[in-house]
Amino acid sequence: MTAKPTPFALHHFIDGKKVAGASDHFGNIYNPATGQVTKRAPLAGADDVRKAINSAAAALQGWSATPPARRAQVLFAYRDLVKRHMDELAEIVSNEHGKTIEDAKGSITRGVEVVEFATGIPQLLKGEYSEAVAGGVDSYSVRQPVGVCAGITPFNFPAMVPMWMFPVAIACGNTFVLKPSEKVPSCSLRMAELMHAAGLPDGVLNVVIGDKQAVDTLLTDPRVAAVSFVGSTPVGEYIYRTGCAHGKRVQALCGAKNHMVVMPDADMDQVTDAVIGSAYGSAGERCMAISVVVVVGEETADELVRRLTPRIQALKVGPYTDLAAEMGPLVTPEHEQKVRAYVDTGVAEGADLVVDGRPVKVADHEGGAFLGGCLFDQVTPQMRIYRDEIFGPVLSLVRVDNYDTAKRLVNDHEYGNGAAIFTRDGDCARDFTSSVRIGMVGVNVPIPVPVAYHSFGGWKRSLFGDHYMHGPEGVRFYTRLKTITARWPSGIKDGAVFHFKAGGEH
């Protein structure tokens, strides 16, 4: 049996220092592989959050006046530090989230790609200039920081999702208050320390651990100008409505039920590999996981089930310390029970549970939040396991007769985050990409997460707000456009005009 650790208390990171905080409320942080409490997270009260906002507000003027090239140099240094500390950060992520070390390193690398994108901020902030828009009048535009920004991040990617936010915001000249999930806060705290070591001035990046009280303080404080969120749809909608009601710019990236359409002409070897990786990687705890496979044709569906069944049964489930593990535990015992309940519901609703991961046990980790891969066949759109975001290693297979029915299922679902189609038919793929109502689409690519210099976001109830995350959309979200029209006296007596003239001159 694994020795029971003694929990220790974490701190916030405010104004460049570790701060214990004034609140006497704490939350438990688990090692998901053992079920044991390893740390205690101080849950910030309103006063703690306001201290972080005070620090960010005080640092704003100096940081926004820092030349973009200098801001980029800090991010270059931070990128190098993250790479140097990759093993340490991956260990922190895996210890609190449960994902395998390789999965953790992969997610950190995707976050670093956004940092690398943000180092190009001098080019990204370049405006436009038009000479002589009227007699002696020039017009030009600039992008300026919005002010103090806040980020509220989920448990499933403790490194990557925060790095989708604060590097771009800080590169644009804003200051930032990060509120990571209280289930997995340690990586955010360590990344803030590395940003400080990279030369970031005190107060530009602050981290507070907290729950709803901390979130509400960020949403209602008038000094916070913009809020970024990644998480569930009910919480995201609340954050969007509350933040907007308090005059803030809000981007809320929310839930998903990502479909993969498999056509009869698809390469079934490729499809099988894609389903295994996209449905069961990171134990299904990612918003871009494939959780529904829509198969066109009974023969194709039978073949896919035949191929998937032994692969899912053979998945090695274990703690991150087992380097052979392909899938780790779920994040907490409570979340494990929630996902198990969905499997029970699917059985009760009449779906065919082809692979049942509930009996899976991991030796010497009996208290861990482990659940094996589950596969349901004969799923219908009326079932909860089809409609709801389960956020676990549970895959639903829906059988349809034709492509049009498959596409209609994708378009009719309330979520519109990601979808994929596997086919050799270019006409079919082109129709799918052009007419499917989804924000991110893959063709023979199961998880179509955009690279850092494109932007990430969904449609329908997967996104609240007008801007996607990172890439050009991220720069637009964290800046305001200002257009200047200027006229300088030339000494030529042409007279002042104070009204619009025919032809557009004024």
Q: State the catalytic residues.
A: 287
Residue 282: count of CB within 10 angstroms of its CB: 23
**Amino acid identity of 383?**
M
Helix (H) or strand (E) holding 29: strand 26-31
* Dihedral, CA of residue 91, residue 53, residue 243 and residue 63, to nearest 10: -90
Q: Among 309, 376, 308, which Cα is nearest to 343's?
A: 376
141 neighbors 126 (Cβ within 8 angstroms): no
Q: Provide, for the chain, the percentages of residues in helix, strand and coil under a 3-state DSSP scheme, each rounded to the nearest 5.
A: 40, 25, 40
Cα separation values, 105 from 5, 96, 102, Å:
25, 14, 5
**Phi-psi region for residue 113, left (φ > 0), alpha (ψ -120 to 50) or beta?**
alpha
Q: 487 - beta bridge partners?
A: 137
Residues forming a β-bridge with 99 = none
| Nearest-angstrom CA–CA distance, 466 and 250 | 8
CA nearest neighbour of 22 among 45, 40, 38, 6: 45
Q: Are 125 and 143 in contact (CB under 8 A)?
A: yes
Place of tokens 């390469």: 267
Using alpha carbons only, give the angle 494, 499, 502 rounded to the nearest 5 degrees: 85
Residues 6+ away with beta carbon under 8 Å from 306: none
Annotate 386-447 with three-state secondary structure.
Answer: HHCCCCCCEEEEEEECCHHHHHHHHHHCCEECEEEEECCCHHHHHHHHHHCCCCEEEECCCC
Q: Residues 119, 453: contact at Cβ < 8 Å?
A: no
Could you tell me how far CA 112 lies from the centroid of its own chain?
Answer: 14
CB 335 within 8 Å of CB 283: no
Contact predicate 223/80, CB 8 Å: no
> Beta-carbon neighbour count of residue 221 at 10 Å?
20
Dihedrals phi, psi of 356, to nearest 5 degrees = -110, 110
Query: In one letter, which amino acid is 285?
Result: E
3-state secondary structure 434-497: HHCCCCEEEECCCCCCCCCCCCECCEECCEECCCCECHHHHHHHCEEEEEEEEECCCCCCCCCC
